[in-house]
Amino acid sequence: MQRPSQSITLIGAPLEEGASRPGCSMGPKALRVAGIAEALTALGHSVSDAGDVVPHEVEIGFPGNARNPEIVTGFARALDAAGRQALEEGRTAVFLGGDHAIAFGTVAAALANAAALGRKLHVIWLDAHSDFNTPATSTSGNMHGMPAAFFCGEPGFEGLLECPKLPPANFHLVGARSIDPAEVELLDARGADVNDMAVIDEHGIGAVMRRILAEAERDDALLHVSLDVDFIEPDIAPGVGTIVPGGATFREAHLAMEMIGRTGRMASLDLVELNPFLDDRGKSARLMVELTASAFGRRIFDRPTQPA
């Protein structure tokens, strides 16, 4: 069945200061070169590219361990503003990252939009990591490991950005295989929905996604999806600075995105942690574009043949 045409806004977020390894700032350009606008247009959608956000100038600091809080906060506020504008216009926002610290602003925009519509929001976090550290618990200080703690209401981010908070039960982590001990304790204490690769191995990605999407349907909720390159097995998606073996296979990743797309509930999407400097001839960028197309209605037999 052909999905209805959507109006989509691409929003670039060339942020790399949330991570310890440079290169993610080139991610938006790589996704554009890999043909994200063309792929979505070919599916019948109306696509507008808003360009890259310009971070706001801020002065801020947090107690505890957090690297580059001013830069991350500047991007968060710019992305919140750009995301809210696109969502208020009834468009689907696709954020081209950038490291995962962009989610401070992207999820804030999604939460504000859902609140304005009187709707609930569920966040599907496709990632090897939970990103549930705070400045007090992080050992590295890398803020790309903290956004989920922020938007689920953990303390330590005062002054960063004002937004509604996500109930942790509506935070669905899928594909995790590297979680710090402090994060494990917080996730368990808050009642977050953690689906690590062992759960996927045992039950299958289809069963895991069906349950999550049924919960969103029960709440008549909107979806924000955050897709990290390291969700995927690094052999097929090497362009990432946080390699963790044992990720989702090609078909598992596509099935997850296809199932999300079939709900018609996805209001916003992050594509994060793509580091073209570490990629193999654009392999990871092309895969991220293909996965995005799957979330917007491309069927398995519509996939283009890739050159050898």
Q: Which among 231, 244, 242, 235 is positioned nearest to 275, based on CA atoms?
A: 242
* E-strand stretches of 129-192: 171-176
C-alpha 104/C-alpha 111 separation (Å) is 11
Residue 288's Cα: distance from chain center in Å? Answer: 11
Instruction: Pick the catalytic residue from 45, 129, 224, 254.
Output: 129
Which distant-in-sequence residues (6+ apart) come within 8 Å of 11 by Cβ?
A: 50, 52, 53, 79, 82, 83, 86, 93, 94, 95, 96
Instruction: Pick the catalytic residue from 144, 172, 224, 254.
Output: 144
Question: Can 162 be counted among the known catalytic residues?
Answer: no
Question: Can 273 be counted among the known catalytic residues?
Answer: yes
What residue has token string 């600075």? 241
Instruction: Pick the catalytic residue from 52, 183, 273, 279.
Output: 273
Question: Can 45 be counted among the known catalytic residues?
Answer: no
Instruction: Pick the catalytic residue from 16, 99, 127, 233.
Output: 127
Question: Can 252 be counted among the known catalytic residues?
Answer: no
Token pair of 249 as six digits: 């296979």
Question: Can 228 be counted among the known catalytic residues?
Answer: yes
* Longest Cα–Cα distance in the chain: 52
Instruction: Pick the catalytic residue from 99, 228, 258, 270.
Output: 228
Instruction: Pick the catalytic residue from 154, 193, 230, 290.
Output: 230
C-alpha 269/C-alpha 224 separation (Å) is 6
Instruction: Pick the catalytic residue from 100, 122, 172, 254.
Output: 100
Question: Can 127 be counted among the known catalytic residues?
Answer: yes
Tell me the residue type at 128: A
Indicate which residues carry an active-site annotation: 100, 127, 129, 131, 144, 228, 230, 273
